[in-house]
Chains A and B, each alone.
Chain A
Amino acid sequence: MKQFSAIFSFEYRGIVKSKTFIVVTVLLAVLVAIALSLPTIIGWFSSDDEPVDPDTEITAHILLADGSEDGSLGEALPAYAAALSAALPGYEFDTTDLSGDELTDAIDGETADGAVIFSSMLDARYVVRSSNMYDSVSGVLSEVMRQTYLSFAMAEHGFTPEEAAEVLSAVPTVETVETEKSFMSAYACTYVMIMFLYMAVLLYGNMVLTSVATEKSSRAMELLITTVNPSSLMFGKVLGVGLAALTQLIILIAVGLGAYGINRSSYDAIPIIDEILSGITPEVIIYLIVFFILGFFLYAFMFGALGSTISRLEESNTASTPIVFLILIAFFISMTAMTSGNTDSLLVVISSFIPFFSPMVMYVRICMGFVPLWQIVVSVALMVGANVFIGWLAARIYRIGVLLYGKAPKLGEVFRMLRRSKQ
């Protein structure tokens, strides 16, 4: 036990005090702080960028002409001009008696930037020298025409202009009431958590592998293995790295909460953030920690065992491929389930019971769907069982692996050696 705590604290401090760890943690913390301060930062910039005063600058001069055969629209043109001017600050709209070629000449002669020729209340042509992407006349025009048409029609039926305006300005409100969990909020927060699980397992798992391989390649292993029990060595290492990972996680969460607290006022304007945050319940956090711990150790044991079979650091990438594959499969199943919203498909349900996948997949199911309690219990129990078994197996492989130098053995050879050593 004394040895174990020595190994544990040596590994933990070795990581936490390393330059890489400090740099990465600080960098991530800064990123989190910046990301959570974005609403405030955007606020600073947009406050300088006040909307242009409609009186100050007229950028375009548009003519409105009656193009109907009987000239019956003359009455409506001032209404169009008023409505368009109100909708499009920066544009000047004038009615005109010019028609046809005269209008074209006016535009070509640059006395006007464009012209709208109404052939009926529901039919108009917008003539412009060249339409640029900031020209919003055509976009607004049809709505203005529709409104004008309606108010004229209503006036014909005896509505006063005030009544007509009231009817036309009525805006219906629609409230969505979801009887199941909000997809949007669950998706966003689960996405963040799954990404975290994926990164943590991959990064810290690899750290275990590198640490074991370093001890082997620097030849410190022979001294270690003759001094301490190989199992203590491996478990101490895995636990040390795990705690380092947790330290980083807690620092990042603390920074995140701090940054959110400071910038809180800027968030009130953005309802979607509240919606996402409402998805983070204590239950979700507890499950995250449970699945993180179970998933991390399961993979860390495998990385540790694998690290013991290679002699040089350069082999570590090749060696870790099968494990990375497993993590990727878990990640993709989770992502597919999340984006499709279908968390109850057969594949997803089955893989939420397979310990290599369940830390991520079951987590997605819990966050985005409804999982009976017994299924969660069974899945967690299976993971605990798998952890015990893989931990035991990893310790055995480790014991043999650390003595091997030279070419890294194939998986099959490792198991043959295991069987032989049992006899």
Chain B
Amino acid sequence: MKLEVVDVCKSFGTHLVLDKVSFTAESGSAVGLLGRNGAGKTTTIRIIMGFFPSDSGQVLLDGKPLDPHEVKIGYLPEERGLYPKKNIGEQMIYLARLRGMTAPAAEKAARTWLERVELGEYFDKRLDTLSKGNQQKIQLALTLINDPDIIILDEPFSGLDPVNALMLKKLIREYTGGNKLALFSSHQMNQVEEFCDEIALLNGGKIALAGNLREIKRSYPRDTIAVSLDCPASEANRAYAQLERVTSSDDAARLIVSSERRGDTLRLKLVSDDAKNELLSVFLRAGVDLAHFDVLEPTLEEIFIAVTGEGQVADR
């Protein structure tokens, strides 16, 4: 399946919130819709979900306009909330039935999913007896309860502790592994980076950057290397001195533009992308015990900040 957002524009009053937003998401991949607060992530998702119409542009599924009621979509809205005063099992069954499941299937799925998010014993408890984080997990379970073909998660990581965030990542991984389509929004770049295949970066209502994350990263210069030696922590200073001795040798120095110490790691900016193999052979000849020798890619966070502009306030 292929979900395409094409030239979507949306204004609230006189305020242009989305300006020709376009990106694509395909089955088997997780697409991260990234951006600062107020960049237009939730608005984009709400338009995809048909919560309100766009002013212009289209949302297509396999080339045809998307009708969210026709396709099995698991949606986790940004505004979390169910029925606080009702039993958890009861409302899970209800919402699963609304999504087309039969009552017995809905009950079975509700119990299975509660087990999966480790809240199995709460089937007959009221929702408001759970902590906020656990309520969030219930909502996540609900998103996946009817085995949807597409999942759309708006800020799924907000409010989750690291263990639960890990569980969520596993769920999404598993899910996209089954050749399904996942779209989620986030402003927490470190959470997204590990498992997001594609990104669409929104800034001020415009797509600032979109595409495969690895390719985007590769498109940045690959001339910075991080090196460290394999040694116990107590000998870090000695190891570092050894590193400096190698890099200041004539063979190495002509390849290096600048160097910077980060803990026991040395970051080296090279004269060109090609210089890294030559530098590696210098290290090997020197006979040092390398722990790693990496091409330093920009982190998603660095890309994000570079694109959205540090300190610059993005309006809604």
A interface residues (Cβ-Cβ under 8 A, vs B): 2-3, 6-7, 10, 14, 214-215, 218-229, 403
Contacts and interface: CB of A to CB of B under 8 A. Distances in A.
Interface in B91-132: 94-95, 97-100
Contacts of A218: 81-84
Interface string B45-84: 0000111100000000000000011000101010111111
20 contacts: A7-B98, A10-B94, A214-B83, A218-B84, A220-B82, A220-B83, A221-B81, A222-B77, A222-B81, A223-B82, A223-B95, A224-B95, A226-B51, A226-B73, A226-B75, A227-B69, A227-B75, A228-B69, A228-B98, A403-B51
Which 4 pairs show the lowest CB-CB distances between chains A and B?
A219-B81, A6-B97, A222-B77, A219-B79
B135 to A, nearest CB: 11
Contacts of A6: 94, 97-98
Contacts of B142: 223
Contacts of B52: 403
Contacts of B99: 227
Contact of A223 (B69, B75, B90, B97): B75
B77 A223 contact: yes
Contacts of A215: 83
Q: Which residue, B50, B51, B98, B142, has most C-beta atoms of chain A within 10 A?
A: B98
Given A225-B51, A226-B75, A229-B69, A3 B98 contact: yes
B86 interface: yes
Interface residues of B, number: 24
B74 to A, nearest CB: 10
A3 B90 CA distance: 15
A222 B99 CA distance: 14
Given A215-B83, A220-B81, 6 more contacts: A3-B100, A218-B82, A218-B83, A219-B79, A220-B83, A226-B49
Nearest to B68: A226
B151 to A, nearest CB: 13
A221 B98 CA distance: 13
Contact of B77 (A7, A10, A226): A226
Contacts, number: 57
Nearest to A226: B49
A222 B79 contact: yes
Nearest to A405: B79
Report whether over half of chain B's contact residues are helix, strand or loop; otherwise say mixed: loop
Contacts of A222: 51, 77, 79, 81
A226 B142 CA distance: 14
Nearest to B80: A219
Nearest to B99: A227
Contacts of B98: 3, 6-7, 224, 227-228
A403 B142 CA distance: 22
Q: Which of B51, B73, B81 has the most CB of A within 10 A?
A: B81
A14 B86 contact: yes
A226 B81 contact: no
A223 B98 CA distance: 10
A6 B90 CA distance: 12
A224 B95 CA distance: 8
A3 B106 CA distance: 13
B77 A227 contact: no
Contacts of B90: 10
B250 to A, nearest CB: 65
B51 A2 contact: no
A62 B84 CA distance: 78
Contacts of B81: 218-223
Nearest to B81: A219
Contacts of A403: 51-52
Nearest to A10: B94
A2 B84 CA distance: 25
A323 to B, nearest CB: 25
A218 B69 CA distance: 23
A229 B100 CA distance: 13
Nearest to A7: B98
Nearest to A232: B98
Contacts of A228: 69, 98
A31 to B, nearest CB: 27
Contacts of A223: 75, 77, 81-82, 95, 142
Nearest to B139: A223
A217 to B, nearest CB: 8
Nearest to A236: B98
Contacts of B97: 2-3, 6, 10
Among A14, A225, A226, the one with the most B-chain Cβ atoms within 10 Å of its Cβ is: A226
B144 to A, nearest CB: 13
Nearest to B51: A226
A142 B147 CA distance: 95
Contacts of B75: 223, 226-227
Nearest to A219: B81
B94 to A, nearest CB: 5
A3 B101 CA distance: 9
A224 to B, nearest CB: 7
A316 B43 CA distance: 28
A218 B77 CA distance: 13
A6 B103 CA distance: 9
B148 to A, nearest CB: 11
B307 to A, nearest CB: 29
Contacts of B82: 218, 220, 223
Nearest to B49: A226
A420 B84 CA distance: 35
